[in-house]
Amino acid sequence: MRKRSSLGEFELLVLATIVRLGDRAYGAEIFRELEEQTGRDIAMGAVYTTLYRLEEKGLLSSEVGEATPVRGGRARRYFSIEGAGVEAVRRSVQALGALIGDTHLGWGTT
Amino acid sequence: MTRRMPKGGGRVGDVSPPSISTRLLELVLPPSLRDAFVGDLIEELRRRQASEVGSSPTRWYRRQVLRSIGPMAWRRLNASAVAQTALSTGAGFAAGWAWLWLLNQPLILGPVFRLPGSSLAIVLVLLEASPYLIAGLAVGLLATAKPLLAVLATGALVWAWPLLRAWWSTGELHAPGGLWSAVMILACLLLGVWIIQLVRRRLSA
């Protein structure tokens, strides 16, 4: 039986952040949101390699946006989640919920 | 209007990103991500400068570049089959010769020569083959796109190396080792690559 590729922890965080930010999420915004929500010291390179990989897997799509002076005249790249990406997030969260839900950690009981 | 000096140097609202770091980053980024990635870093640098987040925005920028160069260069390398094959060939060749050099140190091989006759013969054959096995392991670790091409290139390089060295020092060309040595080199390289692929399959199962 061929295994479905599963999401890594950081991939799941990035996808969830894009879902949270909506359709026109871009690198700096995703980076800030991730740092704020996870409290981690994150490398922009890690965010971009993950975005790149998720796009290769067909879970994300991207389009080039407008250039602004605050970015040194460089264009933004907007990322949006595809149907397969939503499904991958749903499967991962469901699996995590099933594993942790009934444990003494008490997920789903409060 | 008086502009306050931020801790990282430069004026608030008029921050230029460190140029060497930016150039270095642009060098390793794939063209499709270059503008977006560098633009995002500059945007975040200016936001940090304006809101005084962290100790030094300029230091933050340099640290981000340093932390991103490795993964981005690796990603770019993996996207190019030619670059990946060249790297794995070079790394395989270097690993094999480094191992050979180590084996030639008297401290390493000294105890081997105190072995009894038949055991010594077996160990010597294994030692002779081991640099090519190590080279194969290195090729297998790095070449995921075209491993067979990398094996052939490494094999050819290893086979022809003594000939090239002799030509460089004496100016004379001699025929390299015979067919048997070529077969042994290729077999050891393939064995190394196969071992790596087997381990990879086991780990991902």
- Assign 3-class secondary structure to A13-53: HHHHHHHHHCCCEEHHHHHHHHHHHHCCCCCHHHHHHHHHH
Question: For B100-153, what is each residue's pLDDT tens digit?
Answer: 888 877 776 777 677 777 777 777 777 788 889 999 999 998 887 788 898 999
- pLDDT score at A3: 52
Question: For A42-98, what is each residue's pLDDT tens digit?
Answer: 999 999 999 988 998 999 999 999 888 888 889 999 999 999 999 999 999 888 888
Q: Could you give the domains of chain A? A: 9-67+74-98 (1.10.10.10)
- pLDDT score at A60: 94
Mutate to test the interface with A, among B28, B37, B49 (most CBs of A within 10 A): B37
Contacts of B36 in chain A (CB under 8 A): 26-27, 48, 64, 74-77
Helix (H, G, I), strand (E, B), or coil: what is residue B17?
coil
With a cut of 50, list the residues of chain B below it in pLDDT: 1-12
d(CA B29, CA B37): 8
Token pair for residue B51? 């809101």
CB of B140 within 8 A of CB of B133?
A: no
Count interface pairs A-B at CB distance under 8 A.
75
pTM of structure = 0.67
What does the domain layout of chain B look like in residue ranges? 19-77, 81-204
Query: What is the DSSP code string of B40-63?
Result: HHHHHHHHHHHHT-SS-HHHHHHH
